[in-house]
Amino acid sequence: MKYYFSVNMTYDDFLPYYQGRISTVMVMSTEGQRIKFPAMHIKKFLMPHGINGFFCMHTENNKFISLEKIQ
């Protein structure tokens, strides 16, 4: 299954996730579904200005497979 969603977080907004104080990220897909996943999967996209972009998450049997930045 593929889920598409946007993320627009400043570095300061993401800091609690980066520090491990919050372990999951919740986003809304383009289909209107709430998606909750471990913050460690999006951490690699953190830049000095934060995390901004359009992403595609691949899952199989409700298990995380991959996350890629589309834009």
Residue 71: per-residue pLDDT: 83
pTM: 0.88
Residue ranges of domains in the chain: 2-69
The residue assigned the tokens 């890629």 is: 68
Q: Is 38 helix (H, G, I), strand (E, B) or coil?
A: strand
Q: pLDDT category, 65, cuts 50, 70, 90?
A: very high
CA separation for the pair 70, 50 (Å, rounded): 16
pLDDT, tens digit, 9 for 90 and up, residues 24-54: 999 999 999 999 999 999 999 999 999 999 9
